[in-house]
């Protein structure tokens, strides 16, 4: 499945402008044959927006989701994007996957909150594995810091995730996560990982870019630099099947030895 990674910070604080950026990227991605467009963490609203997070948060089926569903249906491709989700009295750092016909397929709430900003504004989720079927493949969702915990990605591997989509807000000086850790996670868990980052200065943060689609062989099939761009790369099911056949990590596990870890 051809996958498009939208490396952009949009316009923090403006849902309307960010939807325009998403619409334009969807048109370009669809024209290039992509079946999935992935946008960064909290793309709908912006990341470094302080207390506006609570004001702009909305339910998973709110107006923002409806607008994204319209973009997906209009251009005929699935979209995964980050947004602040309001659920009762809580606000979650969430990511949602919407199908090419505008159907909401999956909604994930970030389970590992990074730093004082996220811990002050969000409630962590409690479902480690959220998946959906898309174009015959099993797509899973994590958000940014989650992928740095090996347990999170291994849980997806054991649940059969083929393509793990990770909307991200990776900051300097942690570039090694995008450059080294993500390809290793893809290799050790035998899956594709679409890691799509914000880029440039935003409030007190400087986002690193370097979005990548990493394959099960540990090779980046597509890699962005340090500017806003749309990266296209293929998640090849034949390569995935061959790699899983050749790589014994999951078959050679001995779970009985690992109980002390939890």
Catalytic residue numbers, as ranges: 41, 110, 144
How many Å apart are CA 129 and CA 151, to the nearest integer? 11
- Whether the Cβ atoms of residue 59 and residue 90 lie closer than 8 Å to each other: no
Question: What is the CB neighbour count within 10 angstroms for residue 136?
Answer: 8
Listing DSSP states for the chain in one string gives: -EEEEEE----TT-HHHHHHHHHHHHHHHHHTT-SEEE--TTTTT-SS-TTHHHHH-B-TTSHHHHHHHHHHHHHT-EEEEEEEEEETTEEEEEEEEE-TTS-EEEEEE-SS--HHHHHHH-PPP--S--EEEETTEEEEE--GGGGGSHHHHHHHHHTT-SEEEEEE--BTT-HHIIIIIHHHHHHHHTSEEEEEE-EEEETTEEEE---EEE-TTS-EEEE--SS-EEEEEE--HHHHHHHHHH--TTTT--GGG-GGG-
């Amino acid at each position: 499945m051809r996958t498009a990674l939208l490396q952009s910070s949009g316009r923090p604080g403006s849902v309307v402008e960010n939807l325009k950026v998403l619409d334009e990227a969807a048109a370009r991605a669809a024209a290039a044959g992509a079946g999935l467009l992935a946008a960064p963490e909290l793309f709908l609203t912006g990341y470094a927006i302080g207390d506006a997070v609570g004001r702009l948060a909305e339910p998973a089926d709110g107006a923002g989701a409806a607008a994204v569903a319209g973009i997906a249906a209009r251009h005929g491709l699935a979209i995964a994007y980050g947004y602040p989700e309001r659920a009762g009295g809580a606000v979650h750092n969430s990511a949602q996957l919407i199908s090419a016909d505008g159907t909401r397929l999956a909604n994930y709430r970030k389970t590992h909150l990074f730093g004082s900003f996220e811990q002050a504004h969000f409630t962590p989720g409690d479902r480690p594995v959220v998946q959906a079927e898309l174009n015959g493949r099993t797509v899973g969702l994590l958000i940014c810091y989650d992928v740095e915990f090996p347990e999170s990605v291994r849980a997806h591997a054991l649940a059969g995730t083929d393509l793990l989509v990770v909307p991200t807000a990776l900051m300097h000086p942690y570039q090694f996560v995008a450059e080294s850790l993500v390809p290793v996670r893809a290799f050790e868990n035998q899956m594709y990982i679409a890691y799509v980052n914000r880029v440039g200065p935003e409030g007190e943060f400087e986002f690193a870019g370097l979005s990548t689609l990493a394959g099960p062989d540990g090779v980046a099939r597509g890699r962005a630099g340090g500017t806003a761009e749309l990266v296209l790369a293929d998640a090849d099911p034949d390569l995935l099947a061959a790699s899983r056949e050749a790589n014994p990590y999951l078959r050679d596990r001995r779970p009985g030895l690992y109980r002390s870890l939890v």
